[in-house]
Amino acid sequence: MIRAFGAVVASALIAASAVAQEGRTVAGVVRTAKDSLPIAGASVQGRDQAGAVIVEAVSDSAGQFRLALPSRVKAVQFHVRKMGMVPVTSQLLAADSLPDSLVFEVSGGAVEVEAVRIEGRRFESPGRTALAEAHRSGWKVVEPSEVFAKRESALDLHDLIRRTGVPGVLLPTRPGGCASLARTRQCLTYVIDGVVTAGVPFVNPRDIYFIAFVSPPDAALRFGSRVSYGAIVVVTRSADER
């Protein structure tokens, strides 16, 4: 819950336009929602997926500001702050598809913010996209929440799988051994972030976002004939995925 120490309600109107070599330039105005008066001295930040500040500006006497987003930035979250006023924070938005204007509206009393309405396409991380695809494909998925609950205490990938209790999978009892399906007893192939690997890869359990198990027919269809006995798909997490 966001708390504020004043009855002032603020909104930020941000207009975005493309700049050929420098990514995007974001220009706009910070003003009060009630009577549209400009707010000077407001901090306007653009943050990346990890929450790190990549650009920052302070609104002038007319409430206006400009931010130049580097071309390397794939997603951005806007933060507007002014001492004594309710802060405005956007979702994480895809930098390459910002609409001509983003409207940030915050309404609330002197104590808490009641609602935030932000228009714009939410940025989808590679991990979330891969998770949605795994569900669509009908793979047996160890969900991110299950991985999160076990990964800190897991020694390695196989130990993490063991701790999540996936049925029908036989795990090796010796170092370097492979995992297999109970019904085939054939080694599963490991696919790490879409790359088929040879042998048993080392993956830090703390870096894993989710794990999926793919049946032999589906694995051969998706990854080729060398993955004919099934696959363990491991997708690592990005900075904004827990």
**pLDDT, position 94:** 79
Residue 215 lies in a domain: yes
Condensed to tens digits (0 to 9), the pLDDT of residues 15-36 reads 444 333 456 777 778 877 777 7
The answer to whether residues 39 and 108 belong to one domain is yes
Confidence band for 229, pLDDT divided at 50, 70 and 90: very high
pLDDT in tens, 99-113: 555 555 433 332 222
Q: Which of 98, 118, 138 is the C-terminal boundary of a domain?
A: 118
Please tell me whether residues 16 and 110 are part of one structural domain: yes
What are the pLDDT digits (tens) for 128-154?
Answer: 888 999 999 999 999 999 999 999 999
Q: What is the mean pLDDT of residues 209-223?
A: 92
Domain identity same for 216 and 141: yes
Does 231 fall in a domain? yes
Boundary residue ending a domain (118, 141, 162) = 118
So what's the pLDDT on residue 216? Answer: 92
Whole-number pLDDT of residue 114: 29
Selection from 64, 89, 59, 65 nearest residue 77 by Cα: 89
Which of residues 75 and 121 earns the better pLDDT score? 75
* 2 part of a folded domain: no
pLDDT-based confidence at residue 40 (cuts at 50, 70, 90): confident
Q: For all residues of the chain together, what is the average pLDDT?
A: 77
| Whether 72 and 130 share a structural domain | no
Statement to judge: residues 101 and 189 lie in one domain: no
Question: Can you tell me the distance from the alpha carbon of 72 to that of 194, in angstroms, rounded to the nearest whole number?
Answer: 23
At 146-191, the pLDDT tens digits run 999 999 999 999 999 999 988 888 998 887 788 988 888 899 999 9
Tell me how far CA of residue 173 lies from CA of 150, 162, 188, in angstroms: 20, 11, 15
Confidence of residue 126 (pLDDT cuts 50, 70, 90): confident
Alpha carbons 50 and 52: distance in angstroms, whole number: 6
Task: Among 95, 118, 141, give the residue marking a domain's end.
Answer: 118
Cα distance between residue 82 and residue 77, in whole Å: 17
Mark whether 17 and 95 lie in a shared domain.
yes
108 and 145: one domain?
no
Can you tell me the distance from the alpha carbon of 242 to that of 238, in angstroms, rounded to the nearest whole number? 8
241 in a structural domain: no
The distance between the two most distant Cα atoms of the chain, rounded to a whole number of Å, is: 72
Indicate the number of domains in the chain. 2
Same domain flag for 78 and 146 = no
What is the span of the domain harbouring residue 69? 10-118
